[in-house]
Structures are given as structure tokens and as C-alpha cells.
């Protein structure tokens, strides 16, 4: 079953000029490169330094990505922040600019109860006039969305899926089993090292940051998965794991993003500039 939202969704870096404005030429270049490899961009996600990108620049990022997209390519736009009304306003602006779906993380300042998490996503879903997905990323929010909360929210007509970056194989398997036959709710594995494993189990899609640097490898991995050629799919998992190690091993998340931009800079895809408080690789 081909769901509305599926496939390889790469959490795109936010290319920046030296004055910290979004480098629109590079945005277009990267979105077009993704299209050549059958990849959908998630702009303004964790890899895109979303928590540090201001409102005006975020709109320019989304608008340029939408204008650059190819037929069949979806633009996912991340929502990150602690001011709920502002998130709603941004989400609706992203949708009005042409984003296909907004993907929201939990507000991260206060620890939230399951009921508060549910209320947060229901509020967004009720007021954003386009598809919404939940984004579970314990590494940055310090919270995990409980599976019973996910299950309840999956029944909301405007919540279309979960992008889950938690490193928990049992949780991943449970989600895939629960939602594989739900045509209106997609499960995306945001744990790069489990791309192959999740696809073999029946995940609707994967969200690997390494796809910024080697999109062609993920095109081949996903094609192998569609053909149920699991040996080939696993081969590409090992190849991409080796690439990921180049920029992730022994580094904080922020450091790894700087190295990823530096690698992409060598390919002529973007500058090395990082949005403060992160710093670029010397």
C-alpha cells in the first residue's frame, strides 16, 4: 500500500550565507539534487538548525524549497519552538506557501505529561489547515512521546504520521506493526542506522540525515527495499553507516551538523556557515 506520505525524506541542512541569511541558490540546488534521487526534503528539521532560524528566514526557506520542487516531490516543513500560537501561525504560513506537510516536535522547555503532549498536538492539528505529523526526538526535547499518546493522536483526521528518531528497536517494531495497514497514518524511521531494518519490517519511510551528502545511496537503498532485495538494501545500509561515521563519531549533534556542512561544502553544495550558537568547522 502506497500511502500519501512515504519514501525517503531527508532532513535537509539549512544553507546559510555569511550574513546568516538563507542561501536560496543552495536551497534550490539541494532540492533539485534530492529530486534527481527520488527524495523528499524535510526543511527546518533538526539537521536544518530549526531552533535557531528566525521567522522571516524560515518563510524564505520554505518558499524557495516549494518553488524548486519537482513533480511528485513533497516538501515537509519542521515546526520547532515553545510558543504554541506562533507555531500555529508558522505552520499555516508554511502550508500557504505550498508545504505539503508540517512536522512538529514537542516544546522542550518544560517536561510535559502525556495529557499535555496530547493537548499540544490536538491544538496544532485543530488549527493548522494542512497535514500535520508528530516528530519524536528524545535527543533534543528530552522527552519521549508515549506510544499510547501516539495511538490516540493517530485517530485525529489531521494527524498523518509519526517521524520517530528514538533509538529503541522494540518501539520501532511496535509502531510499524500498529500502523502498517493504516492508510492515513505513516511511520517514518528517523534513526539512520535502522533505515534498512525499519524498511524490512514495513516502515513507510526513512529520514536519514546522511542523505544530504549521499542521496544517491538512499535512492538505491529504497529501490532495493521496494524490490524486496534485502541483501542489496543491507549493503547500502553498511555503506551509509560508514559515511555517517565520518561526521557523527565522537561528536555532539551540533558538531556533527557542522562537519556535515563541511563535507557538503567540498561538493559545492553550500557554505560551511552555521547559525549561532553552533559554530562551523575550522
pLDDT in tens, 173-192: 999 999 999 999 999 999 99
Is residue 122 a part of any domain in this protein?
Answer: yes
Is residue 130 a part of any domain in this protein?
Answer: yes
pLDDT at 282: 75
Is residue 273 a part of any domain in this protein?
Answer: no
pLDDT in tens, 113-132: 999 999 999 999 999 999 99
Question: What pTM, to 2 d.p., does this model score?
Answer: 0.96
Q: Residue 123's Cα: distance from chain center in Å?
A: 21
Distinct helix (H) and strand (E) counts, the chain? 11, 8
Q: Which structural domain, as residue segments, surrounds residue 66?
A: 7-266
Is residue 244 a part of any domain in this protein?
Answer: yes
Is residue 278 a part of any domain in this protein?
Answer: no
d(CA 6, CA 53) in angstroms, rounded, equals 27
pLDDT in tens, 228-258: 999 999 999 999 999 999 999 999 999 999 9
CATH number, domain of 27, equals 3.20.20.70
Q: Which secondary structure element, helix H or strand E, spans residue 255, and what is its range?
A: helix 253-266
Q: Kindly report the number of other CB atoms within 10 A of residue 129's CB atom.
A: 12
- 266: helix, strand or coil: helix
DSSP 168-217: -HHHHHHHHHHHTT-TT-EEEE--GGGHHHHHHHT-SEE--GGGGT-HHH
Q: Which residues contact 131 (CB under 8 A, 6 or more apart)?
A: 4, 5, 100, 101, 102, 158, 160
Mean pLDDT across 121-148: 97
d(CA 275, CA 233) in angstroms, rounded, equals 35
Is residue 280 a part of any domain in this protein?
Answer: no
In degrees and rounded to multiples of 5, residue 170 shows phi and psi of -60, -45
Q: Which secondary structure element, helix H or strand E, spans residue 63, and what is its range?
A: helix 55-68
Is residue 271 a part of any domain in this protein?
Answer: no
Computed over its alpha carbons, how large is the radius of gyration of the chain? 17
Is residue 276 a part of any domain in this protein?
Answer: no
Number of domains in the chain: 1
Amino acid at each position: 500500500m502506497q500511502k500519501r506520505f512515504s519514501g525517503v525524506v531527508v532532513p535537509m541542512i539549512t544553507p546559510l550565507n555569511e550574513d546568516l541569511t538563507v542561501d536560496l541558490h543552495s536551497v534550490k540546488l539541494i532540492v533539485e539534487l534530492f529530486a534527481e534521487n527520488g527524495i523528499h526534503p524535510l526543511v527546518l528539521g533538526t539537521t536544518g538548525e530549526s531552533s535557531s532560524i528566525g521567522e522571516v528566514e524560515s518563510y524564505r526557506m520554505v518558499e524557495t524549497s516549494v518553488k524548486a520542487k519537482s513533480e511528485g516531490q513533497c516538501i515537509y516543513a519542521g515546526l520547532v519552538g515553545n510558543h504554541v500560537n506562533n507555531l500555529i501561525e508558522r505552520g499555516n504560513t508554511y502550508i500557504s506557501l505550498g508545504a505539503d506537510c508540517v512536522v512538529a516536535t514537542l516544546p522542550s522547555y518544560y517536561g510535559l505529561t502525556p495529557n499535555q503532549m496530547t493537548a499540544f498536538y490536538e491544538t496544532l492539528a485543530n488549527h493548522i489547515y494542512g497535514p500535520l505529523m508528530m516528530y519524536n526526538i528524545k535527543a533534543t526535547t528530552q522527552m519521549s512521546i508515549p506510544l499510547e499518546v501516539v495511538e490516540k493522536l493517530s485517530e485525529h483526521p489531521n494527524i498523518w504520521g509519526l517521524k520517530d528518531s528514538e533509538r529503541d528497536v522494540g518501539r520501532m517494531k511496535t509502531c510499524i506493526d500498529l500502523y502498517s495497514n493504516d492508510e492515513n497514518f505513516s511511520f517514518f524511521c528517523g534513526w539512520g542506522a535502522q533505515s534498512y531494518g525499519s524498511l524490512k519490517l514495513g516502515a513507510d519511510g526513512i529520514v536519514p540525515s546522511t542523505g544530504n551528502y549521499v542521496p544517491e545511496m538512499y535512492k538505491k537503498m529504497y529501490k532495493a527495499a521496494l524490490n524486496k532485495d534485502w541483501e542489496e538494501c543491507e549493503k547500502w545500509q553498511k555503506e551509509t553507516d560508514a559515511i555517517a561515521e565520518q561526521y557523527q563519531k565522537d561528536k555532539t549533534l551540533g558538531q556533527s551538523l557542522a562537519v556535515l556542512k563541511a563535507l557538503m561544502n567540498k561538493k559545492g553544495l553550500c557554505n560551511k556557515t552555521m547559525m549561532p550558537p553552533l559554530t562551523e568547522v575550522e
